[in-house]
């Protein structure tokens, strides 16, 4: 486990370009709190790009593992670059006071109530005003802080879109209150929780009861996952949980994989471009992220179109290419390919010639377009 933690540390140190710790003065708490902020490597390079936010309680020890996991997933474009905000809680056992709740009614009380307001009323607005944040917010915690994050579900409208609850210490009646609130969701919510066979016993039984109750929830707006790890402890389960949680939440973000291609796309009889459109529409709807259609995803749809001889769909693919990469040769290339496959060498040649004068993209080059043009010209001369 130490080696795995060290790997996360190396990744977090090398990929993210901006990581800083600052003091945040809170009127709600009546004190200053230390927060650590990690900005994606592309933050300065892409001034129009917006990023999801991840708020980490126990930021003093959860920051680096989350930081590294997001770096690793971001390197392969499996996970989106994310703004990470860690609230450090290691001074004078701050986490206990921060997460205090009344045992009678099971609601935040005293400093716990003020800490709750600090997160939603001060910290989030500050981050979203200062940084380019997409409208997708996540929050995570471990044991005491994991239990506390559930209080944000008690509101009629959750201010967070995703919850990562690692071996939570549940407040009074949470085993029944959380499922009730999840059943009443009015917006999509991702909810992840975990435990392990080596977890603290007094935590594990309520967690398993909560899991059983959540599994009875029928609200289609809930995306729920529970992991119970074998051979893991209360502390090591954190490193098992983090990638699972992130990949659950960002499942729709991933580019088209070989499995997705084989099991979901290749089996279609038509509508290959519609599948691509729907995939990116869901990404925008579920995660609040608007990104250009990946070149590899274009190639995957192009490949299945050619395989099934659905050549007319290349016209639709060209329209998407023109929308996403208007200065590139991609759209004219797709149209040239369509005319070539339909046997119209004259129109194909014209499109390839136009493409050769535009910006290269992916593995498409000007030389390749001119070769295609020459091929079409040869066919025209033979007729």
Residue 6 in this model has a pLDDT that exceeds 80: no
Is residue 273 located within the same domain as residue 249? no
Average pLDDT over residues 335-340: 97
The predicted pLDDT at position 91 comes to 61
Interatomic CA distance for residues 18 and 85, integer angstroms:
12
Q: What is the mean pLDDT of the chain?
A: 93
Q: Looking at 253, 283, 307, which one is the last position of a domain?
A: 253
Is residue 217 located within the same domain as residue 362? no
Backbone phi and psi for residue 102, each to the nearest 5 degrees, phi listed first: -75, 125
Interatomic CA distance for residues 240 and 51, integer angstroms:
25
Query: How many domains in the chain?
Result: 2
Cβ neighbours of 186 (radius 10 Å): 10
Average pLDDT over residues 242-257: 96
Is residue 232 located within the same domain as residue 285? no
SS (H, E, C) 351-363: HHHHHCCCECECC
Is residue 221 located within the same domain as residue 267? no
Q: Looking at 253, 279, 301, which one is the last position of a domain?
A: 253
The predicted pLDDT at position 369 comes to 97
Cβ proximity of 76 and 25 under 8 Å: no
pLDDT band at 326 (very low <50, low <70, confident <90, very high): very high
- Best CA proximity match to 347, nearest among 357, 336, 331: 336
Is residue 245 located within the same domain as residue 263? no
Report how far apart, in Å, the C-alpha atoms of 323 and of each of 32, 291, 299, 317, 330 are: 47, 12, 16, 10, 10
The predicted pLDDT at position 94 comes to 86
Higher-pLDDT residue of 261, 7: 261
Residue 28 in this model has a pLDDT that exceeds 60: yes
Backbone phi and psi for residue 314, each to the nearest 5 degrees, phi listed first: -65, -25
Average pLDDT over residues 30-39: 95
The predicted pLDDT at position 92 comes to 58
Average pLDDT over residues 309-317: 97
Contacts of 28 (CB under 8 A, 6+ apart): 114, 115, 117, 118, 121, 122
Residue 328 in this model has a pLDDT that exceeds 50: yes
pLDDT band at 90 (very low <50, low <70, confident <90, very high): confident
Q: Looking at 219, 253, 287, which one is the last position of a domain?
A: 253
Question: What percentage of the chain carries pLDDT values higher than 70?
Answer: 95
pLDDT band at 18 (very low <50, low <70, confident <90, very high): confident
Question: What percentage of the chain carries pLDDT values higher than 90?
Answer: 89
The predicted pLDDT at position 12 comes to 45
Residue 14 in this model has a pLDDT that exceeds 80: no
CATH assignment of the domain containing 180: 3.40.50.1820
Average pLDDT over residues 258-280: 96
Give 271-310 pLDDT, tens digit per residue.
999 999 999 999 998 898 989 999 999 999 999 999 999 9
Give 53-76 pLDDT, tens digit per residue.
999 999 999 999 999 999 999 999
Is residue 282 located within the same domain as residue 195? no
Interatomic CA distance for residues 259 and 269, integer angstroms:
17
Residue 225 in this model has a pLDDT that exceeds 70: yes
CATH assignment of the domain containing 373: 1.25.40.10
Residue 216 in this model has a pLDDT that exceeds 60: yes
Average pLDDT over residues 251-270: 95
The predicted pLDDT at position 382 comes to 79
Interatomic CA distance for residues 225 and 248, integer angstroms:
8
Is residue 176 located within the same domain as residue 297? no
Cβ proximity of 79 and 23 under 8 Å: no
């Amino acid at each position: 486990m130490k080696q795995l933690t060290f790997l996360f540390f190396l990744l977090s140190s090398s990929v993210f370009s901006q990581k800083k710790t600052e003091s945040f003065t809170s009127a709600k708490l009546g004190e200053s709190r230390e927060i650590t902020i990690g900005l994606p490597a592309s933050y300065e390079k892409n001034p129009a790009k917006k990023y999801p936010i991840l708020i980490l309680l126990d930021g003093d020890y959860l920051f680096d593992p989350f930081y590294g996991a997001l770096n690793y997933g971001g390197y392969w474009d499996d996970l989106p670059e994310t703004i990470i905000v860690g609230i450090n809680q290691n001074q004078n056992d701050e986490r206990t006071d921060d997460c205090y709740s009344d045992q009678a009614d099971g609601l935040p009380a005293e400093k716990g109530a003020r800490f709750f307001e600090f997160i939603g009323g001060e910290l989030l607005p500050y981050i979203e005003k200062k940084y380019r944040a997409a409208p997708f917010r996540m929050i995570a915690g471990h044991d005491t802080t994991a239990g506390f994050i559930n209080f944000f579900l008690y509101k009629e409208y959750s201010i967070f879109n995703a919850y990562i609850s690692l071996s939570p210490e549940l407040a009074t009646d949470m085993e029944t209150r959380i499922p009730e609130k999840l059943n009443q969701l009015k917006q999509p919510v991702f909810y992840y929780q975990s435990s392990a066979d080596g977890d603290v016993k007094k935590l594990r039984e309520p967690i398993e009861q909560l899991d059983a109750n959540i599994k009875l929830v029928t609200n289609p707006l809930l995306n729920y996952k529970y992991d119970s790890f074998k051979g893991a402890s209360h502390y090591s389960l954190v490193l098992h949980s983090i990638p699972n949680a992130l990949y659950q939440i960002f499942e729709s973000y991933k580019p088209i994989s070989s499995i997705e291609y084989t099991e979901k796309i290749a089996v279609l009889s038509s509508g290959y471009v519609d599948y691509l459109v729907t995939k990116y529409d869901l990404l925008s709807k579920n995660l609040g992220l608007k990104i250009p259609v990946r070149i590899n995803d274009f190639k995957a749809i192009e490949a299945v179109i050619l395989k099934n001889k659905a050549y007319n769909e290349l016209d639709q693919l060209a329209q998407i290419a023109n929308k996403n990469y208007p200065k590139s040769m991609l759209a004219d290339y797709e149209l040239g390919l369509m005319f070539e496959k339909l046997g119209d060498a004259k129109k194909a040649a014209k499109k390839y010639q136009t493409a050769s004068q535009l910006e290269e993209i992916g593995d498409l080059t000007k030389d390749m377009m001119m070769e295609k043009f020459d091929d079409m010209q040869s066919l025209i001369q033979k007729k």
